[in-house]
Amino acid sequence: MEENRKRRLAILGSTGSIGTQTLQVVEEHPECFEVYAITAGNRVDDLIAQARKFMPEAAVIADETKYQQLKEALSDLPIKTYGGYEAICQIVESSPIDIVVTAMVGFSGLRPTINAIKAGKAIALANKETMVVAGELINALANQYRTPILPVDSEHSAIFQCLAGEMHNKVEKLILTASGGPFRTFTKEQLEHVTKEQALKHPNWSMGAKITIDSATMMNKGFEVMEAKWLFGVGAEDIEVVIHPQSVIHSMVQFEDGAIKAQLGTPDMRLPIMYALTYPQRLSSSFDRINWDTLKELTFERPDLELFPNLQHAYTALSQGGNMPCVVNAANEVCVAAFLNDRVKFTEMPKLIERAMQSTPYILAPTLEDYLETDKEVRRRVEEWI
């Protein structure tokens, strides 16, 4: 590692899927990384266990009702404890931090990411909603404060890796791969009756509940299309999605001469996490390798936009721009939470999102306040409809 010192991390959402895997990367290379701060939404027991194991400088729980439990559990250790969302927004500004891993779920990741950028911290971006909702604002801030944004999503990490060394070569197309989720072969009638238990069983990846449902509806891939536009500076018309059920090719880049570069690997999020934390270097790992004896085929197909209209909603919102991606994100977050609580059917989610897109006032050049107000208003409306 450069500078011969450990990189100090703040992990936002340390108890979630990306957060826990980031800590596994730290365990893999303790000589390279030091955990400075960890945060969680409400999983206080998990946060306490992580704090006792990794001994960060600070631990923050967003749910203020659980702060006292956190404080008392760590009172015998020299770990600072804080409670509340504002504390998460502030902890990222701490001067010793080198990299902020934004692994919070949903819209809540936006303000802490903005604060971290303004504080000059490198961003290992796993919270795709930040770029979905406010990509133009985030890019402007990153340029202003000269802050690197390093993608953690496996698809965007793959594109990032494929573009290495290609700075002066024109990109013709970005090709995002999608597993197709658990319902890839279902009919429209079958989709009417799917359960959350079925939707939470992803065929290839181990992820949190929200992103797993987004993968099943293909909204996750729609968000990745939006994110790719802002991360790599291409238009929606130059981003293609292909279904690749094996999840071995994580994404591809097609250049103007017709050549395509692809990045392959096992479906293990620790690989893109580690690449983001160590870029431009690569470190050794004990993670699984592709077994060419058992990998017999790589197949591809086009996504069915009639069966999975959320992907089309994302393209539409991206082409409209303004506050429309924020509308889609807010409506989707409410819908997913409702689906997980058995309040809406799987097939009702895209319809509610489309209704929100059609009924929300359009703002061409939104400010941060506009994003916050749009998010609040859309959530209120969709809850009413449900």
Q: Note the pLDDT tens digit of each residue in 42-77.
A: 999 999 999 999 999 999 999 999 999 999 999 999
Walk me through the domains of the chain, giving residue ranges and CATH numbers. 2-151 (3.40.50.720), 156-320 (no CATH)
pLDDT in tens, 230-276: 999 999 999 999 999 999 999 999 999 999 999 999 999 999 999 99
Specify whether the CB–CB gap between 284 and 205 falls below 8 A.
no
Specify whether the CB–CB gap between 356 and 382 falls below 8 A.
yes
The single-letter code of the amino acid at 165 is G
Strand order in the sheet with 171-178: 239-243, 171-178, 249-255, 260-264
> Greater confidence, 124 or 201?
124
Residue positions counted in the chain? 386
Tokens of 314: 């994302």
Distance CA 48, CA 81 (A): 10
Distance CA 200, CA 181 (A): 10
pLDDT on residue 14: 98
3: pLDDT confidence band, cut at 50, 70 and 90? low
Q: Is it the case that residue 129 has pLDDT exceeding 90? A: no
Q: Is it the case that residue 31 has pLDDT exceeding 70? A: yes
pLDDT on residue 204: 83
> Greater confidence, 93 or 4?
93
Distance CA 18, CA 35 (A): 15
Query: Exposed e or buried b for every residue in 20-32, given b needs 16+ CB within 10 A?
Result: bbbbebbebbeeb
Mean pLDDT of the chain, nearest integer: 95
Q: What is the CA radius of gyration of the chain?
A: 20
pLDDT in tens, 292-327: 999 999 999 999 999 999 999 999 999 999 999 999
Could you give the 3-state DSSP secondary structure of residue 84? coil
> Phi and psi of 378, rounded to 5°?
-65, -45
158: pLDDT confidence band, cut at 50, 70 and 90? very high
Specify whether the CB–CB gap between 104 and 12 falls below 8 A.
yes
